[in-house]
Chain A
């Protein structure tokens, strides 16, 4: 893992660490769902997290903006440690955007209102400015013409692109993606992945839970493979996919590839 990072560092792609997980443990009741998870993500680094369902990858990514609370270990995001301190949490959530598997757009608000809500209320931006910003991001995800519709009138792919634009409107330093394409029909997956690739090319720091291995190969600096709550293996996409070290990853890859 460190090798990969230094390799990426050497070519000037990845900056100083912005997310650090240090021996993070989490339990749901008696179930141990995260076991000593340690990981560092540098600025502008793009990490893809994969693994079978129930491996704790979603839980891990949700711990980064404290949608889930870890019980042991230390998580530092953008220089602030995640604790019960609400002010620190607000600071972090302002800098970390998240895209969910089920989009989670606000159905009672228009697309534009979905995008301007947080800038107006959290960043205290004037409405006109927030709308201009929102339109610029909606243009970027190629759906400015839908701005005045409601989420229910859009296709799944369009909704997910709005969700990405909504997160970007907060100008986050880090973007988290929790299986962004898993709820989509095949023909819509591409439009969302294209949006994400474009975002990656702009140098956004990204942590992405996904099974899209093509995406991982194309944009990830590093792939992290999780199973049963622990990080089993990590490395560059090439080394991971072509030269898996562990039996568990080999098994996982064979299952994934058979599915495609």
Chain B
């Protein structure tokens, strides 16, 4: 897999010949890929026509004939008749303008909504800082602890003169980000331990425990784990002990994600050549040094794509918490649509929600691709 390096000295005396004309440039690319036979030309033209038509139709609906605002009555009720009239031809973005704060922040007290908004900004800032490799040091853990504590104080209040807000009133994007961020941040280290435990040869009891855990959790749907956490778990607790709903859902998400991530990590551990383990052993490295310095850095790098795939999956799976009565982003979209004047404009709301989800997920996948490239530099085998 080594690359052939062409150096000046390796060019034969005859010199390099230029490739024949018509082999390079955008026209050559088009000819080779889209118009190389009558069948492919026909397919290109047909698909081009269909794509163009759909794009024109969408732009027409979403922008040209779209209605951006609607008048309000004296009582503050929106008058959506203009939207109703334009139903088939134009989008009604007024619903977003009217409902975006409900969708983003749920039933959080209206005048306090700068707090969840600031939390979202903090979350995004945390992601950006964590993504930069020059911040990958011990201090990063401190930054996480401080930021996440700040987020909880902001959301919950009761400190520093902030009004207390019970987490029953939390909702929308902060709930999604809290569940996903805590879920992945706790599940990932846990999954590494489980994967290592599952591969352990010296501790059969630990191995059995890890196998049972992974197989049990993977064997049931996330919904049933969430139900267990919200309905059954309190039954097992002594009377008077009440762990709140959000925390229970969070634990369920962590346990579920960790089981899946553990299998991804285990795949990475298995794909490392045995020689790496032996070389580390032969140098006298302890188990944890070997694992932390030699095995995990390589194994985790190998599984970046499936790892990010799982992260993305879990980011979206957090929307399932609606079934135990938590109001995440998607659920708040549904709640917004239950308002009678806006009931028939679900397309617009779902498109807006999709844009938010795509924004986060695309950022993740794009980042992972860059990371793969960067970590792979200079060490191709």
Quick check: A98 and B298 within 8 Å, CB to CB? no
Residue of B nearest to A68 (CB): B278
Other CB < 8 Å A-B pairs besides A152-B378, A153-B378, 8 of them?
Answer: A67-B282, A94-B284, A100-B279, A106-B279, A107-B298, A108-B301, A117-B283, A170-B283
Interface size counted on chain B using CB atoms at 8 A = 23
At the interface, yes or no: B281 with Cβ under 8 Å from chain A? yes
Whole-angstrom distance from the CB of A134 to the nearest CB of chain B?
Answer: 13
State the 5 A-B residue pairs at the shortest beta-carbon distance, nearest first: A104-B279, A93-B284, A104-B275, A98-B282, A118-B283
CA distance A98 to B283 in the complex (A): 8
Chain A, range 77-126, C-beta contacts under 8 Å to B: 90, 93-94, 96-98, 100, 102-108, 117-118, 121-122
Chain A residues within 8 Å of B379, by CB: 107-108, 150-152
Contact B278 A100, beta carbon cutoff 8 Å: yes
Binds A, one of B168-176, B220-228, B286-294: B286-294
Contact B281 A67 (CB under 8 A): yes
Q: Please tell me if the beta carbons of B278 and A108 are within 8 angstroms of each other in the complex.
A: no
Using A121-B289, A152-B380 as known contacts, say yes or no to A97 and B279 having CB atoms under 8 A apart.
no
- Asked if B378 and A121 make an inter-chain contact with CB atoms under 8 angstroms apart, the answer reads no
A149, B283: Cβ atoms closer than 8 Å: no
Interface size on A, residues (CB 8 A): 28
| B285 located at the interface, meaning its Cβ lies under 8 Å from any Cβ of chain A in the complex | yes
- Do A90 and B286 touch across chains, with their CB atoms under 8 A apart? yes
Interchain residue pairs with CB less than 8 A apart (19): A93-B283, A94-B284, A96-B282, A97-B282, A98-B282, A104-B273, A104-B275, A104-B278, A106-B276, A106-B280, A106-B298, A108-B298, A117-B283, A118-B283, A121-B289, A121-B293, A122-B289, A152-B379, A167-B283
A100–B298 Cα gap in the complex (Å)? 19
Q: How far is the CB of A121 from chain B (nearest CB, A)?
A: 5
Contact B281 A104 (CB under 8 A): no
CA distance A94 to B276 in the complex (A): 17
B381 at the interface (CB under 8 A from A): yes
A167 to B297 Cα, complex, angstroms:
21
For A67, give the chain B residue with the smallest CB separation: B278
B281→A105 contact, CB < 8 A = no
Listed in ascending order, the chain A residues whose CB lies under 8 Å from chain B are 65, 67, 90, 93-94, 96-98, 100, 102-108, 117-118, 121-122, 149-153, 166-167, 170
Give the complex CA separation of A118 and B298 in angstroms. Answer: 17
Complex contacts, A105 vs chain B, CB 8 Å: 279
- Prevailing SS type, chain B contact patch: helix
Evaluate contact between A122 and B298: CB separation under 8 angstroms: no
| Contact of A93 with B278 in the complex, beta carbons under 8 Å | no
For A149, list chain B residues within 8 Å (CB): 378
Q: How far is the CB of A183 from chain B (nearest CB, A)?
A: 11
A65: B residues at CB distance < 8 A: 281-282
Query: How far apart are B173's CB and chain A's nearest CB, in angstroms?
Result: 37
Which residues of chain A have C-beta atoms less than 8 A from B375's C-beta?
108
Interface of chain B residues 242 through 285 with chain A (CB within 8 A) = 273, 275-276, 278-285
In the bound complex, residues from chain B placing their C-beta under 8 Å from that of A100 are 275, 278-279, 282
Give the distance in Å from the alpha carbon of A14 to the alpha carbon of B379 in the complex. Answer: 42
Residues of B within 8 A of A96 (CB): 282
What residues of B have a CB within 8 angstroms of the CB of A93 in the complex?
281-284
Q: B284's closest neighbor in chain A, by CB?
A: A93
Q: Which residue of A lies closest to B275 (CB)?
A: A104
Q: Which residues of B contact A98 (CB under 8 A)?
A: 279, 282
- How near does chain B come to A127, taking the closest CB pair, in angstroms? 14
Q: How far is the CB of A135 from chain B (nearest CB, A)?
A: 18
A contact residues around B280 at 8 Å (CB) = 106
Contact A117 B293, beta carbon cutoff 8 Å: yes
B280 to chain A, nearest CB (A): 8
Residue of A nearest to B289 (CB): A121
Q: Which residues of A have CB within 8 Å of B276? A: 104, 106
When distances are taken between beta carbons in the complex, the residues of chain B under 8 Å from A107 are 298, 379, 381
A102 and B278 CA atoms in complex are apart in Å by 11
State A65–B279 Cα separation when bound (angstroms): 11
Q: Which residues of A contact B297 (CB under 8 A)?
A: 108
- Which B residues are in CB contact (< 8 Å) with A94? 284
